[in-house]
Amino acid sequence: MKRLAILLFCVACAPTTAILPPASEDTCNAAAHAGLIGQPDTDLERVLILGPVRVIRPDSVVTADFLAERINFVIDESGTITAIRCG
């Protein structure tokens, strides 16, 4: 009985991991904007995106929350769009 109690205690204390969608799913329609990679960040002003958008610049603070429908534009030091991804 003691062994069972110890086993249950160990299982209850085990860390849980978050379940995230596979990276291959384009849940935010990022592929439709792939042509913006390598372009200046000012080009984002001419793009209509319905839904949540986040622009991530160098040294900017961003939350760790994951929103599958949100599109993230990563901008480098020179103001160029370097990546587009969901989350």
Q: What is the CATH number of the domain that holds 25?
A: 3.30.10.10
Cβ–Cβ < 8 Å for 74, 28: no
- For 39, the token pair is 């372009």
User: Considering the domain boundaries, does residue 6 fall inside one?
Assistant: no
User: Considering the domain boundaries, does residue 80 fall inside one?
Assistant: yes
Per-residue pLDDT of the chain (87 residues; tens, 9 = 90+): 666 556 555 555 655 555 555 556 899 999 999 999 999 999 999 999 989 999 999 999 999 999 999 999 999 999 999 999 999
User: Considering the domain boundaries, does residue 4 fall inside one?
Assistant: no
User: Considering the domain boundaries, does residue 28 fall inside one?
Assistant: yes
Length of the chain in terms of residues written:
87
Helices (H), the chain: 2-12
Task: Count CB neighbours of 81 within 10 A.
Answer: 21
51: alpha, beta or left, given left = phi > 0 and alpha = psi -120 to 50? left
What are the residues facing 80 on neighbouring strands?
Answer: 40
User: Considering the domain boundaries, does residue 11 fall inside one?
Assistant: no
Q: Residue 64's domain spans which residues?
A: 20-86
User: Considering the domain boundaries, does residue 30 fall inside one?
Assistant: yes
Report the alpha-carbon distance of residue 83 to residue 72 in Å, rounded: 8
| Total number of domains in the chain | 1
